[in-house]
Structure 1
């Protein structure tokens, strides 16, 4: 019980007791006890109020705590909130990689355009020395071809001299080794023992032109005593039947004896004579022999050249009439042509063209721009996966 209740109970008890001391005077009580009891009551009220407030706060806190989300819910909300930003970051990385690829492609395109521009400028004729060098290289190659295929030392010498004049016109210090090799090739050609190749070829060609004029061996081996023109004149002058009969008998005899061949100029075995219709074959075969000699002359085949001329002479002696100035001149010319030595030791004149080709290639490499070596590395680093890893490291 509280102090107030105890005080009240004591007061009631005191009233119920008989007033034994009624006649006596009551002593006066001090006022301090009443004050203490009031303070205690006030303290109890304040304590109760505090307890009630603390309980209300606890209940309210419990309600608030129950309304708060769990940790998993918080993480889910955080992930949901960060998902758009992550997608945006990945998109940015992909766009950066594409931008790097576009820059590399642009740089390569610019480099190619520069190369094409320089080539176009040279093709338009701005660099005259390139044309002169190309022409000199063509002349050197042509000289080698003439010497190897036609064995024409004179033409090869002329072509090398023309190429040297073109190199003098270019007037570049780097051409010194080329001109030195060209001078060595010219000196080697000058040391070759020359013969008149063109003159020999023309002589053979002239002989082929005279084949149609050469007389073939007659089928009967001799000429008739009286030509047909004289027989016609006799018939015109003497118109008797006796003369006419005699002339007819003579013509019949000549036709009969014309079917035989009588040779008295040698003691060799008699070979069968071709009929007159084969005259074209005889002349054409002789022409082919001389053409074979011309081809061997151009190719430098000494044995084939001599064999072809010997066959031509044998063919003339067998199937043509070997009397008269025409056939005698042909035999003498063939004998003179057989005395010509066509076999020559030709030098190698390819040093100059090889040196000039190397100079032109080096000049082209110096003029064209070189692609940087870091292009491939940059293209590898520009891949999306690499870009993401670099961004993640930062």
Structure 2
């Protein structure tokens, strides 16, 4: 009986050691499986992010082409107006006797035409009204009852512009330009290189030592977005935001309310999806865009042209005479 007890204790100790080894192996297996699942999930998310970046890059290229085309169209219109004014000036050199009367009519016509172009290109009703007033003052120098119908038509156009409810388009364009200057300062979540340790920390537990020696690196990201971005991806996201703000500026200058609204929504979506919400500058830009998106830019711009038509009729009558 005395010899059997040590043997039983040895057997119990051996079984306990085997059970401990089995538990450790099972824990290692479970940790490895979990690590592989996390690695697979992160790899899938990164692949999806690459597809989104490619889509954003294509959309940005398309928007830039549209902006260039619109700017080219504006330049052509301004060039056409300049050529017309040059022709009018050249016609003045051919004026013979009594030429001052025709000169004043041509000057009034050029001012009325410029007012219409200014309203169409920049939506600046106040500037257009000043040009119409200058045209009326030019006709007033003739001191002739024959110009009263043209002056009456100019007065009607000026009243239309005065009564129209206008948005400070130029102020909004400048404000969007200021927001574009802040895009480079906004915080974007970026990938950080994992710290490498040549030797395990002597104060950490054996379990952490085992995890540090595993060939799998596990990173955990709380939440779906925004994901950490590489330097190139962050640059593309900033470029996308800048492109949306530029589109909003162009839409304002062209009086396209729906295009302006869509550009503001695109900028807000980009901010919400890719930029850090805890950054004060991001929050400020979100609130600014929300306020600007609610501005009433959809009102119909006043239609003028009565004065220009009346002046052209007066010019034809002078030519027939």
TM-score bracket relative to the smaller structure: 0.5 to 0.7
Give 2:221's aligned residue.
262
Instruction: Note closer, same or farther for the CA distance 1:206–1:159 as it changes in structure 2 (3 Å cut).
Output: same
- Deviation (angstroms), 1:300: 2.7
Give the whole-Å Cα distance in 2 for the aligned partners of 1:290 and 1:271: 21
Q: TM-score, normalised by structure 1?
A: 0.49
Q: Secondary structure at the match of 1:210?
A: helix
Q: Is the 8 A contact 1:192 1:344 kept in 2?
A: no
Find the residue that maps to 2:166 and give its secondary structure.
coil
Distance 2:185 2:217 in 1: 23
Deviation (angstroms), 1:341: 0.9
Mapped partners of 2:191, 2:217: distance in 1: 6
Q: For 1:164 and 1:127, how far apart are their aligned partners in 2? A: 19
Pairing of 1:289-368 with structure 2 (within 5 A): 289-366=244-321
Looking at structure 2, the residues matched to 125 and 204 of structure 1 have their Cα atoms a distance apart, in angstroms, of: 54
Do structure 1's residue 180 and structure 2's residue 152 form an aligned pair? yes
- 3-state SS of paired residue (1:364): helix
Shift of 1:199: 1.0
- The residue number in structure 2 matching 1:217 is 189
Alignment correspondent of 1:57: none
Instruction: Report what 2:233 is aligned to.
Output: 278
Deviation at 1:183, TM superposition (A): 0.6
Q: Aligned runs of 1:42-121 on 2, under 5 Å?
A: none
Tell me the SS of whatever aligns to 2:111.
helix
> Using the alignment, how far apart are the partners of 2:279 and 2:185 within structure 1?
12
**Counterpart contact for 1:219–1:261, Cα < 8 Å:** no
Give distance in 1, aligned partners of 2:265 and 2:149.
49
| Secondary structure of 1:199's aligned partner | helix
CA contact (8 A) 2:226 2:273 kept: no
Summarize the Cα distance change of 1:121–1:345 in structure 2 as closer, same or farther, 3 Å threshold: closer
Q: Which 4+ residue blocks in structure 1 deviate beyond 6 angstroms?
A: 256-259
| 1:27-75, Cα deviation, whole Å (9 max, x unpaired) | xxxxxxxxxxxxxxxxxxxxxxxxxxxxxxxxxxxxxxxxxxxxxxxxx
Call closer, same or farther: CA 1:165–1:318 in 2, change over 3 Å.
same
Q: Please tell me whether residue 144 in structure 1 is matched to residue 116 in structure 2.
A: yes
Distance in 1, matches of 2:216 and 2:296, equals 48
Q: 2:163 aligns with which of 166, 184, 191?
A: 191
User: How far apart, CA to CA, are the structure 1 residues paired with 2:284 and 2:148?
Assistant: 54
| Unaligned 5+ runs, structure 1 | 1-118, 229-242, 248-252, 367-394
CA apart distance, 1:287: 0.8
After superposition, the C-alpha distances for 1:319-351 in whole angstroms (9 at most, x for unaligned) are 112223211211111111011010122333111
Q: Unaligned stretches of 5+ in structure 2?
A: 1-90, 202-211
Count of residue pairs brought into register by the alignment:
218
2:106 to 134, 156, 159: 134
Cα distance in 1 between the residues matched to 2:185 and 2:258: 29
Q: Pick the structure with greater CA Rg.
A: 1
Alpha-carbon distance in 2 for matches of 1:122, 1:311: 55
Measured after TM superposition, the shift of residue 258 of structure 1 is 9.5
C-alpha separation in 2, matches of 1:150 and 1:301:
11
**1:149, CA displacement in angstroms?**
3.6
TM-score (normalised: structure 2): 0.60
- Closer/same/farther in 2, CA of residues 330 and 123 from structure 1, 3 Å limit: same
